Chains A and B, each alone.
Chain A
Amino acid sequence: AQSVTQLGSHVSVSEGALVLLRCNYSSSVPPYLFWYVQYPNQGLQLLLKYTTGATLVKGINGFEAEFKKSETSFHLTKPSAHMSDAAEYFCAVGSSGGYNKLIFGAGTRLAVHP
């Protein structure tokens, strides 16, 4: 079975500050890991994903995440927050089998203030 825990349902940062959104996963098989972003009243958009290979993954809008197997973590970071980054972020875990049934975390709402 797989599961995802996102630490912190709400995160608030100042514009220009570091963004760190935490995600820990549980998986009995090698995981595939994803970060999605959701803007108000919209569907989800993929930010980045990790399947195999390099553990530091770069995504869109300046975000990146590092897969740390020893810590079962896949935290999302951005060096400098922008007002347009305000949204809800979801971490998800999948695997090589199972028809892409992604298991999502509860989400973290990011607020960016001037």
Chain B
Amino acid sequence: SQTIHQWPATLVQPVGSPLSLECTVEGTSNPNLYWYRQAAGRGLQLLFYSVGIGQISSEVPQNLSASRPQDRQFILSSKKLLLSDSGFYLCAWSVGFGGEKLFFGSGTQLSVL
């Protein structure tokens, strides 16, 4: 069966520090991968998606970047965190296109202080 792992579960970082969140998927090949952010009291915002190794599409301009070094690995990074980067980050995967559902990881609560 397919599983998605996301870590760490919680993270507290000072402003200006770097960030690296990792997500891995098991039990499937060539998944579409996504990073969403959920800010307090707001919905989910799609940050990045990837349809293959090294292929990253950014949905919104921001202080973050994403990379996909391996088929089932998706990394969210920042060189210098801002206060506004605080939020709940969710990794997700899907196969195919259109009506296929997303499978979400358990999320990372990031607090930038």
Contact = CB atoms under 8 A, between A and B. Distances in A.
A45 B44 contact: no
Most B-side CB within 10 Å, residue of A94, A95, A98: A94
Given A41-B109, A43-B105, A44-B104, A99 B97 contact: yes
B90 A49 contact: no
Nearest to A51: B99
Nearest to B51: A99
A96 B99 contact: yes
A101 B46 contact: yes
A103 interface: yes
Given A101-B49, A102-B46, A32 B99 contact: yes
Contacts of A106: 42-43
A98 to B, nearest CB: 7
B43 A107 contact: yes
Contacts of B107: 41-43
B21 to A, nearest CB: 14
A18 interface: no
Nearest to B59: A101
Contacts of A114: none
A17 interface: no
B111 interface: no
B102 interface: yes
10 contacts: A6-B43, A36-B102, A43-B104, A51-B98, A52-B99, A95-B98, A96-B98, A99-B32, A100-B97, A101-B34
Nearest first, the 3 A-B pairs at minimum CB distance are A43-B104, A51-B99, A106-B43
